[in-house]
Structure 1
Amino acid sequence: MPSVLADYWPLVDLRLRVGAVELRPPSDADLAALADVAFAGMQEPGTRTFLTPWTDLPPLERARHVVRGVWTDRGDWTPEDWSLRLGVFVDGVAVGMQGMSATSFGLLREVRTWSWLGLPHQGAGLGTTMRQAVLHLAFSGLSAACATTGSFVDNPAPLRVSRKLGYEDDGITRDLLHGEVVVSQRLRLTRARWESLPRPPVSVTGLSPCLPLFGAV
């Protein structure tokens, strides 16, 4: 029987679902739809989202950044150092991306998360839902010990999402962005705290053959 791509790269079949929201590693067709969302924009003028300021790029370069990021992470993936970019779809419509990465996960059992949403899809609770899905993957699926994230202190929306989900403050970092000092709030969520809080049911399919790729076995 001829092989299919999932025989060699099982991540292509990984799916997370919370109600109408599905997260999946994007196919090239999905990438085109996600690039369209990035092209249209994900932040209001004058606001800051990421320390690497790709969201400030012109529309075409923003879209290409999304495409290149997925391709690069695919090619650089090892069980010791990986970055999972999941396209987020609501009723099949692309709305943004949810990322999760780790270094030496098999030993540290720690993941980092980030995300972005197209402007028309913000403020409706999707940021919370997609993070809940990826945290379920981390803690229930991969047996993570903790999850970390961070946000500029003057960007309150993602901080609200993190604290709503049980993250606790974990210090600050000071960096330079466009020649100016920016301060980020670090946050951490432990497995015990995650288990103690209510959360929606999350369906995960296609994970078992992926576990060696995550360094989780």
Structure 2
Amino acid sequence: MACVSSLVDLYPPFGLHVVAGPLELRGLTDDLLLELCDLAERGIHDPGAMPFFFPWTDAPAGQLSRNTAAYHWGKRSTFSPDDFALDLAVLLDGRVVGAQGVAASNFPVTRTGETGSWLGREFQGRGLGTEMRRAFCALLFDHLGFEEITSAAFVDNPASLGVSRKVGYVPTAVRRLERREGELALNQGLVLTPEAFVRGTPIEVTGAAAVRSFIGLDDA
């Protein structure tokens, strides 16, 4: 019987580490999650705008941290190859500046998932969103068996759409969605393939083999 010796053995994404120049993407341990919650409380976007499909940032001070932690704890507890969210903390010079993730269903068959990300407001406008997405997509394509990556952004969110364009995503369908209560918003779908991917800084990866097994790939 195998001996479990660390939290990484129980939850392999904790051991995932990607280095791309000055940026790091790390498995979202509780220590990093605490930093991420503090970052969210300091602000992600203008309160008058809403860039997210689910308006999770509409929360009172203090509650946003608890909601953020609860979300990530919940996703850990239900992680399976058939339904998972792989979320990583993004660090610059050892400091958490944002989060980057992918959600997938029936992954061993579909080999696709939808990316999502955010940066603390104080770190926006410096090109970090593009570089962290490029690093993450390289991880997904080159190390975790993805064959397609999707994303989406509201048409009034040019910053997110600009990042996707620079990385190589191409537009698909536009959906009419309710964003905040009673508010219609147009949501632009996007898709990225390995052939269209515009790469950035080469990445160094550790911990990917255990994650491959965890998401149901047989060759790990």
Q: Could you state the TM-score of these two structures normalised by the residue count of structure 1?
A: 0.94
Separation (CA, whole Å) in 2 of partners of 1:2 and 1:186:
42
2:21–2:201: 8 Å Cα contact kept in structure 1?
A: no
Question: Unaligned regions of 5+ residues in structure 2, if any?
Answer: none
Structure 1 segments (4+ residues) deviating >4 Å: none
Separation (CA, whole Å) in 2 of partners of 1:67 and 1:18:
26
Answering whether residue 55 of structure 2 is matched by residue 75 of structure 1, we say no
Separation (CA, whole Å) in 1 of partners of 2:13 and 2:110:
22
Residue matched to 1:190: 193
Separation (CA, whole Å) in 1 of partners of 2:89 and 2:143:
18
1:97–1:116: 8 Å Cα contact kept in structure 2?
A: yes
Per-residue deviation, residues 132-165 of structure 1 (Å, max 9, x unmatched): 1110111001221110000000111000000111
2:22–2:93: 8 Å Cα contact kept in structure 1?
A: yes
Distance 1:173 1:208, change over 3 A: same
* Paired amino acid for 2:99: M
* Paired amino acid for 2:191: R
Answering whether residue 15 of structure 2 is matched by residue 13 of structure 1, we say yes
Residue matched to 2:99: 97
Distance 1:45 1:8, change over 3 A: closer
Q: What are the residue-to-residue correspondences of 1:171-210 with 2, within 5 Å? A: 171-177=173-179, 178-194=181-197, 197-210=198-211
Answering whether residue 118 of structure 2 is matched by residue 116 of structure 1, we say yes
> 3-state DSSP class of the match of 1:192?
coil
Residue 97 of structure 1 and its aligned partner are, at CA, apart by 0.7
Separation (CA, whole Å) in 2 of partners of 1:189 and 1:90:
25
Residue 2 of structure 1 and its aligned partner are, at CA, apart by 7.1
Residue 9 of structure 1 and its aligned partner are, at CA, apart by 2.2
Separation (CA, whole Å) in 1 of partners of 2:11 and 2:183:
42
Structure 1 window deviating more from structure 2 (142-151 vs 58-67): it is: 58-67
Question: Unaligned regions of 5+ residues in structure 1, if any?
Answer: none
> 3-state DSSP class of the match of 2:195?
helix
> 3-state DSSP class of the match of 1:129?
helix
Identical aligned pairs, as a percentage? 39
Q: What are the residue-to-residue correspondences of 1:105-144 with 2, within 5 Å? A: 105-144=107-146
Separation (CA, whole Å) in 2 of partners of 1:18 and 1:67:
26
Residue 6 of structure 1 and its aligned partner are, at CA, apart by 2.0
Separation (CA, whole Å) in 1 of partners of 2:165 and 2:115:
14
Separation (CA, whole Å) in 2 of partners of 1:145 and 1:201:
19
Residue 55 of structure 1 and its aligned partner are, at CA, apart by 1.4
Residue 29 of structure 1 and its aligned partner are, at CA, apart by 1.4
Residue 198 of structure 1 and its aligned partner are, at CA, apart by 4.0
2:79–2:85: 8 Å Cα contact kept in structure 1?
A: yes
| CA root-mean-square deviation | 1.4
Separation (CA, whole Å) in 2 of partners of 1:6 and 1:141:
18
